[in-house]
Structure 1
Amino acid sequence: MNDSSDIRFLLTIRDAGSLVATARKLGISPSTVTQRLQQIERKLDTRLVDRTARRLRFTEEGTQLCQRGAELVQELDTLFEDLRARRAGLVGTVRIRAPLGFGRRYLASVVSGFQQDNPNVDIELTLTDQPLTETAERYDIVVHIGELPASNLIGYAIAPNARLVCASPAFLKRFPNPETPDDLAHLPCIVLRENNEDVSLWQFHKGRTARSVRVSSKLSCNDGEVIRRWACEGRGVILRSEWDVADDVAKGNLVRLLPAWKAPDADVIALTSNRAGLPARTRQFMRYLQARFRPQPPWRS
């Protein structure tokens, strides 16, 4: 196989998930898809895809070809895009995946500003409550907040972000202000479901002293804006990112609890699948993104 179009064709099958979906995506007939796949397999004298009427599965050889081939195609695209960029500025598409709330409040304006400055760049922004999934590697940049689980992705620091325990003034008129993290176990709490984490186990430390407390919750949601609104309405205690609650704390809508105890930080980072070979447009967007949150992020300004 010496034609990158064959690799791109196989990657399209992988991403589409079926030969019929591949045909729709490419605007050709399913029989044409099947015939081209058979031609590639004959050239390599290797079966790449096991297909039946109900399912499609890449063989070990097909999977390896897609993994290595995707890297080679990206390097080739990067080479040509960098050459074009020397003449016409940044071109191509940047695919970004990010958390819902942070994406709406802060990232959307960054994306808009970058695209306006670079009109030949297309940006596809996808917001989700689970930015880190197995499909994350199909994006150029994944924005993540918090501790990074084991991953092959490469991280770039964007902004510091603490996590604060908060409740509304109205809530604190009905319930005692907690003095230690253990007191939270006896208070109504609201939890945010995200990233498949154990969301009701809250951890703190003060100096060398560490505490873990299992909170009880009658309200939970996968959208941080919703739990922040519930907290402002006096429905319970939340453990939430500084970027989300700093304004409400400053305005008095929320009160920070347990200021002497620190929850684990949840810094904002950007992830890419490779450190080397990134297209010029991706590198420039990363620099633009980092610059927008320096020297201090807006929630600390």
Structure 2
Amino acid sequence: MIDLDDMRLFVRAVTDGSLSAAGRELGLSPAVASKRLTRLEQALGVRLLQRSSRRLSLTSEGACYYERCVSILADVDEANAMVGRGQMEVRGALHVSASLDLGRQYIGPLAAQFTEQHPELRMRVSTSDAMLDVFEHGVDVAVRSGAMADSRLVSRRLALNYRVLCASPGYLRRRGTPASTDELEHHACLMLHRPGRGILPWMLQTAEGPKPMRLDAIITTDSGDLMRELAVAGHGIAFKSIWDIATDVEAGRLVPLLTQSAIQEAHIYAIYPSRDFLPARIRLFVDFLLERMREREGTVLGLLGMKV
């Protein structure tokens, strides 16, 4: 059985960078603090910290354990506060991940607004086009296009979303506007590349139904944000989420193409680990995202001629 006080000592030692300082804060002598940390490591069967006279450093196992300990202790503190004061307080740490485009344009700013409303919350926002493993990276809420087929995760739809072909007005003046998907092979295509998966095909709606199109890409990249910038600069046609390019379309920097046929569903979901007790900070943050994104949803879908 792991003692929560030992877990708190470990987290405090990592935060302070000193086991003796952590012990003093918790009212423990250096000798007792050292014994308590050793007891925790023995119970787990792994070394969590490399200790020397000058510094502490996390082992790889310690780094993973630290992320989960922070979340677990925040849950415990939140549960105690809820019972003690009879209310749901948002406090502790919240780790949110999102793609680069969604994170930069929406999730990051909304996270900042949420922390202004809840000053006892400490928010960490990770932005990456790589699909981070929620459990491995200690993510509390991941915002992604597309639901996850994992029984350990809960998916809650935040907004309707579609991927659409787009290009800049300058590119279309030079190269012409494609009238059908068959004409795309004559255009400069900007496509995503994923390590281990190669160039990702465009899954487009055609007269024969959904069809993966593997085109000769003039530029490939692993960054959706860079792809958007290349399209805005007039280097070719991209296949992007309408949410990612909404501000560019509104400003006239990008034009959606073939919107009556060549689109792909990619609805936006909040994804989080399934728990019997869902911390208030997760539940209320997801509620906050849903409310704010629904406010924007009608305008974004209107760019494709759709109504909510």
TM-score w.r.t. length of structure 1: 0.74
Aligned to 1:191: 191
- In the TM superposition, what is the alpha-carbon distance from 1:181 to its structure 2 partner? 2.5
Q: Distance in 1 between matches of 2:142 and 2:293?
A: 16
- In the TM superposition, what is the alpha-carbon distance from 1:291 to its structure 2 partner? 0.7
Q: Is the 8 A contact 1:49 1:56 kept in 2?
A: no
Q: Is the 8 A contact 1:192 1:221 kept in 2?
A: yes
Which letter does structure 2 place at the counterpart of 1:80?
Answer: N
Q: Distance in 1 between matches of 2:200 and 2:229?
A: 19
- In the TM superposition, what is the alpha-carbon distance from 1:233 to its structure 2 partner? 2.3
Aligned to 1:96: 96
The 3-state SS of whatever aligns with 1:90 is coil
The 3-state SS of whatever aligns with 2:294 is coil
The answer to whether the aligner puts 1:49 opposite 2:40 as a matched pair is: no
Q: Distance in 2 between matches of 1:202 and 1:235?
A: 18
The answer to whether the aligner puts 1:276 opposite 2:276 as a matched pair is: yes
Q: Distance in 2 between matches of 1:182 and 1:88?
A: 56
Q: Distance in 2 between matches of 1:295 and 1:188?
A: 35
Structure 1's 214 and 101: CA in aligned 2 closer, same or farther, altered over 3 A?
same
Structure 1's 230 and 94: CA in aligned 2 closer, same or farther, altered over 3 A?
same
- In the TM superposition, what is the alpha-carbon distance from 1:48 to its structure 2 partner? 1.4
- What per-residue deviation string (whole Å, max 9, x for no partner) do you get for residues 162-186 of structure 1? 1110122332233343343343233
Structure 1's 238 and 84: CA in aligned 2 closer, same or farther, altered over 3 A?
farther
Which letter does structure 1 place at the counterpart of 2:19?
Answer: I
Aligned to 1:15: none
Q: Is the 8 A contact 2:181 2:262 kept in 1?
A: no
Structure 1's 285 and 103: CA in aligned 2 closer, same or farther, altered over 3 A?
same
Q: Structure 2: 5+ residue runs without aligned partners?
A: 21-29, 51-57, 303-308
Which letter does structure 1 place at the counterpart of 2:300?
Answer: W
Structure 1's 84 and 240: CA in aligned 2 closer, same or farther, altered over 3 A?
farther
Aligned to 2:155: 155
Identity across matched positions, percent:
25
Q: Distance in 2 between matches of 1:231 and 1:187?
A: 12
Q: Distance in 1 between matches of 2:37 and 2:77?
A: 23
Aligned to 1:18: none
Aligned to 2:18: 27
Q: How many residues align?
A: 282
Q: Is the 8 A contact 2:205 2:263 kept in 1?
A: yes
Superposed CA RMSD = 3.9
Q: Distance in 2 between matches of 1:244 and 1:228?
A: 8
Please give the residue correspondences for 1:252-263 in structure 2 after superposition, counting only pairs within 5 Å: 252-263=252-263
Q: Is the 8 A contact 1:97 1:136 kept in 2?
A: no
- What per-residue deviation string (whole Å, max 9, x for no partner) do you get for residues 55-106 of structure 1? 9687xxxx9x99x999976764442142356368432222212222211211
Structure 1's 79 and 225: CA in aligned 2 closer, same or farther, altered over 3 A?
same
The 3-state SS of whatever aligns with 1:113 is helix
- In the TM superposition, what is the alpha-carbon distance from 1:281 to its structure 2 partner? 2.0
Structure 1's 250 and 74: CA in aligned 2 closer, same or farther, altered over 3 A?
closer
- What per-residue deviation string (whole Å, max 9, x for no partner) do you get for residues 28-78 of structure 1? 27x989854543466x5xx71279x9x9687xxxx9x99x99997676444
- In the TM superposition, what is the alpha-carbon distance from 1:135 to its structure 2 partner? 5.4
- What per-residue deviation string (whole Å, max 9, x for no partner) do you get for residues 93-145 of structure 1? 22212222211211222122222222222222222232523656512211112
Aligned to 2:247: 247
Moved more, 81-90 or 241-250: 81-90
Aligned to 2:146: 146
